[in-house]
Structure formats: structure tokens, C-alpha cells
Structure 1
């Protein structure tokens, strides 16, 4: 059996799908450990997970749109998080002695540690930010990002001549998406598009299931963990839009109550909703979201049409792909009016064509194999002879 080390950022949308892959590996008898911010990982993974903490520190809140959001992401989180975790990661690798590392694309320090120790590593892409290359038409932006990554490589003391983009393992890239959401280009052979990882999550005894009124169509409204205060204005417009949809439509809001205005009596509001359970029970008819890959993949896997209001990062790219696939509609997060949003929601609820496309795209995503396919590819990487896997070519114990 092999030892797998998962290197993840302290972001729920990144940890949850990785946890499904970890569970599959553990079920096959492999040893699995995690490293990252334990205060975030532990509540998501449970008391039995083996977690090597890398310490905790505050990072700048992510904000803005477009290029400003990209700068905020890289300069406010990815680069400082990589610097902060570099030494602890090196110590974790020495202690746990993994055979393979699974490294999130936004934790480049994991790839640097793997290269330093001559270990094979796979990149994990739970979003489309890097795979989709949304800024490929702006070479100066690509060059800026490349400069930041080369700076981390140099800071780690690795030879410049051996530089590899730490977002893309030359051995294996695991992405929780599918062709319908990545565009028409054929991915390289070492890119495995496994689709959504529908991990079973603990039951939520606090959710008011009894308030889901029979005979009403339901819309889940969730704007992800990064919306913050930006979400309050959009949520207010969403409340009004769902009122305009009529009394037969029941909204389910997954948002902090402080961000929501006064709600109609038929609305359900919780800080966190058991999203997968709602979908599996057939309790939803459509989803209004930010276009995050996890929410989109889970909704389509259950045949639910989407209305996406992207905020930043890969969300505009994902939302555009959903619309292009005919599985949902895209609306402008900052400018959509309640009336326009109500029209989009009614279309999502009423359009047979939209629902049929959502079902079709969902089947395509599920055909990627999810956690089972991901574990198969990781096992194959672990089974390669030493030195045969690209991305783990330095002799162990190198500088």
C-alpha cells in the first residue's frame, strides 16, 4: 500500500472534493494524510483524519473583480500562503514520507516540496481558474503570474534550470470538471477530467426539513464562501426576484442571516445548507449561485438547471461554459435587476430544454468517474518506478 499526502489551502470548496478522493484511497487500504491549516481542515475532515498542521495566520481578504480580483488572490493569498507554509511542508514530507503528493493548484509550496524531495506529485484542480486560462489573451498577466511562481521557486532554493510551473504537474493533473465545462480543446493525456466528487457528508440535524412545503418548486440560493459583504446587495435583489416568481416558488437561502433582508414567510434561510442531501432527495428544482465549480458540478450531476451570477476568479469562465452548454443562464452579479433575475429564474424553472441539457451535461460530468477514477490515477502514479514519473526527478535530500 502507498502513502498519499494531500496539500490543500484553507478553502472549503477545495477541501470537500479532495476529501472524497482521500476517502476512496483510504477505503483501498492506503495511508492518507493532510497538511494545511488545521483549524479549517479538522472541522471539514472529522476527528479521525491525520492532519499535519502548518500553523495559522490571517491573510488579506480577497476582493474586487476581474484583474483586481486576480491580483488580490495572488498577492493577498497564494504567494504569502506558499511562503508561510514552505518550511512546515518540508518538515511534514520528512516525517510522513509520502509516496505521492496531491497538491492543490493554489498551494504551490506543495509542488516545490515534492520536487525538492524527488517525489511524484499530482496537481489538483477543483476549479477552472488555471485550467481555463481566462487571461490567456493578456500575455502581460500570464507573465506576471509566471514571475510570482518563479520567485517562489527561487526562494525555495531550487535550481532555475529545473523550473516547472507548480500549478501543473507533468505527471498528472486531476480536475473535478468535464469537457462541457472546459471548452472545446482536447486536454493533454495526463489531465484527468474526473467530474464532480460527490462525497457523502455528515447529516445536518439542524436543517428545517419540515419547512419544505409540498407542491412548491424550490430554488437554492448560494453564493459561496467568498461573496462576503458583496453578497448582501445581491441577496436582497434575489429575495425580491424570488418574490416576483410567485407563491409557488420557495427559496432556500444558504447565507449568513446578517446578509439577508427580511424574508417572506415561505423562505428558508440557513447559514449552511446540506446541499448534496437536498439534491439527492429531489428537494430542489433549480440553483442560483456564483458559478463556483463545486456548486455547478453538484447541481448538474443532479440534473438541476442553473442561474449563475459570477463574482470573480474562475466563476465568469465557469458561468460562461454553463450557458454555452445550454444547462443554465448567466446574469451579471453587480447589475442584474430583480426583474431580470426573476425572468432568468422562471426560465430555469420552466424550460424543458434547459432541464434536459442540465441532465445531459450532468451525465457527461459523472462519466469522468469521480473519486474512483481519481484514486485509480493516483495509484498508477504511485506504482511507477522511481524516477519514471515526471515532476519527481530530483534525488531525495537535494537542496
Structure 2
């Protein structure tokens, strides 16, 4: 049996898909250890998860970067967060790999300490692409940005592992030459760059948890906002879910209010449920329910469409349930994911800062009324279900570990 070390950043959406893979590897008799922030990992992977502590890295990032957009946000992400995080954590990841006797390091695409530590130790590593934004070069059309990022990566490699054999390069730092696990499919992401690394298109990897207190609370719809009022739901009207994920709420007030007003304009034709953790919607109309917490996995099977920020996990959750989307990307890889949704025919893209109630209402009306959006969403959902999810990802990791161990 093999030992796998999962290196992850302190970001919920980048840990969640790997939790299901870790469960699968454990069920097959393999050992999985984590390198990262213990509280968050154990919250997601369970209290019994083996976690090796990493330093926290930069702090106060959400407040400092909240108002940034476009390439300013990209620059902030890499220069202020991800590269400093690698500087702070690469020694801890290497120590965890040595201490556990890891056969393979599985590094999230934004946990650069993973490939750095693996290259220093001569271990194979796999890139976990928890978002499809990195499967094709998002800066191919902007060579100056590409050169800036490559220079940033080259400097990191020169500082942290200049004598690695084979040498670590900006390209292999970003995507492992051994294997990339993509938690999506080509039906959404499109084909990867030709000549790139080997990719396993695993599709989304939701966790299959054993019954227990956490599962019972989720089934009841319990959370920070209390029990979910299921009796409010009118099944005769299409349900539209609005969510900006877990890290965008500081900048989302105007957008959420615009969505709420758009749904009011649609009146009895729809019902809407809005995730509003900061309470920016003071009074929702009768056909809209605003809640700080949504039991999203329970709501999606009853929904007809999703309005969101084009976060990869939210998009994939919606498409897993064959739901068309209205996407308004904010930053980071979200514009890339939003364009994938549009190119695949599964939704409509709006500009986040210019999404008036009228534009939102028109987009929601279109994705609900035009069958081509639902048809495209069903095609992507079918590809997700056929891809294999956590089982396919785990099988690929086991195969590579066995191959490298020969």
C-alpha cells in the first residue's frame, strides 16, 4: 500500500474535492496525510484526518484584496498570497513528506510548496486542478502577463530548489509533468493545451459521507441560519438559486440586491433563494427567500437555474444537476470558468459590476425559457457522471504510485 501526502492551501474550495479522493484512497487501504491548516482540513475531512501543520502564510488578504479586479487581482493573488505562502510552507511540506514516508505528493494547483518540496526530495508529484482555469494557459493572449508570471515562478524555483533533479521549471511548477487530476471534463473545460501533461478528467468529486450527526444536520437544512423553511417552497414555480460562494460576499452586496430585485420583477413566474451571509438584503419580496446559509446539496435537485460568480465548485455543482447558469465573474479564474460556461452553451455571462436588475431578469428568463441552455447543461452533467469522480482520481493516483515504485 502507498502513502499519499496532500498539500493544500487554506482555501475551502481547493480542499473539498480532495476530501472525497482521500476517502476513496483510505477505503482502498492506502494512507493519506495532509499538509496544511489543521482546523480547516479537519472541518472538511473529519476530525480523524492526519494533518501535518503548515505555517499560516500571509494574513488579512480578504480585506486587502477585496476591491481588486482584472490583472490587479491576479497580481495580488500571486505576489501577495500564493508565492509568499509557498515561501512560508515549503519546509513544512518537505518535513511532512519525509516524516510520513510519502510515495507521492498530491499538490493543489495553488499550493506551490507541494511541487517545490517534492522536487527537492526527488519525489513524484501530481497537480490537483480543483479549477479548470489552469488546464489551458489563461494568459496565452497576453504575453506580458505570461512573462511576468513565469519570471515570478522562476525566481521562486531559484530560491527554494535550484538543484532539483530533474530541474523544476515554471511550467512544471504550474502543472506536474507526471499527472494532472482535473475535477472537470472536456465537455465544460474544452481540450487542454496540446503537448501538455497527462490529464485525468475525473469530473467533480463530491464526498459520500456515512450517516452521522453532520449528515443529519445537512439533511434537516440546519446551519447558522437555523432550520431551513422547506414549507415556503412552491414546487409549481421554477426555483432560481443565487450564490456568490464563500469568499466574495464582501463585494457582493449590490449584486445580490440586483438579483433580488430582478426576481421581484419576475413575480409569480419564479421563486428565488439567495445566499446572503452578511445580511445585505433588508427586505426580500414574497417570491424570494434570503438566508445566511443554504443547504445547497438539498436545494439543487429542486432548482431550475443558478445565478453565481462562476466559481468552479458552484458551477460544477449546478451542472452536475443539469442546471443552466447565469454567471457574473468577479476575479481570479472566474472569468475563465464563465467563458467555459458560455462556450459550452450552458449559460449567459453578465458583467458583475454592471448587472442591473433588468439584465439579471432578462438573463434568468432566457436560461429558463430557451431549451438550448438546459440541453447543454444536461450534456455536461452527463459527462460529469460518466467521468468517475473520486474513484477515477484515486485509481489514477494509485497507478502512478505503483508505477513510480517499480
Shorter-chain TM-score above 0.5: yes
Matched ranges for 1:134-213 at <5 A? 134-159=138-163, 162-164=167-169, 165-185=172-192, 188=196, 190-200=198-208, 202-203=214-215, 204=218, 205=220, 206=222, 207-208=227-228, 209-213=230-234
RCO comparison, higher one (Cα < 8 Å, 6+):
1
Aligned counterpart, 1:27: 27
Structure 2 contact 119–161 (Cα < 8 Å) conserved: no
Structure 1 contact 257–270 (Cα < 8 Å) conserved: no
Indicate the SS of the match to 1:88.
helix
Structure 1 contact 236–261 (Cα < 8 Å) conserved: no
Indicate the SS of the match to 1:68.
helix
Q: CA deviation at 1:185?
A: 5.0
Counterpart-to-counterpart distance in 2, 1:376 and 1:194: 10
Counterpart-to-counterpart distance in 2, 1:372 and 1:49: 19
Q: CA deviation at 1:309?
A: 0.6
* CA spacing shift, 1:159–1:189, aligned 2, 3 Å: closer
Q: Deviations over 1:61-108 (max 9, x none)?
A: 234111111011101210111111122212211211111111011011
Matched ranges for 1:212-223 at <5 A? 212-223=233-244
Aligned counterpart, 1:45: 45
Is 1:93 the equivalent of 2:97? yes
Structure 1 contact 218–286 (Cα < 8 Å) conserved: yes
Q: CA deviation at 1:60?
A: 2.1
Structure 1 contact 305–327 (Cα < 8 Å) conserved: yes
Q: CA deviation at 1:216?
A: 2.5
Aligned counterpart, 2:332: 313
Structure 1 contact 59–77 (Cα < 8 Å) conserved: no
Is 1:377 the equivalent of 2:396? yes
Q: CA deviation at 1:59?
A: 4.6
TM-score normalised according to structure 2 size? 0.90
**As a proportion of its length, which structure holds more helix?**
2
Is 1:264 the equivalent of 2:289? no
Task: Return 5+ residue gaps in structure 2 as ranges.
Answer: none
Counterpart-to-counterpart distance in 2, 1:153 and 1:261: 50
Greater shift, 329-338 or 185-194, is seen at: 185-194
Q: CA deviation at 1:258?
A: 2.5
Indicate the SS of the match to 2:323.
coil
Q: CA deviation at 1:189?
A: 6.2
Counterpart-to-counterpart distance in 1, 2:192 and 2:86: 30
Greater shift, 128-137 or 25-34, is seen at: 128-137
Q: CA deviation at 1:184?
A: 4.5
Q: Report the RMSD for the aligned CA atoms in angstroms.
A: 1.9
User: Given the alignment, which residue of 303, 306, 309 partners 2:322?
Assistant: 303
Aligned counterpart, 2:123: 119
* CA spacing shift, 1:273–1:88, aligned 2, 3 Å: same
Matched ranges for 1:248-259 at <5 A? 248-259=269-280
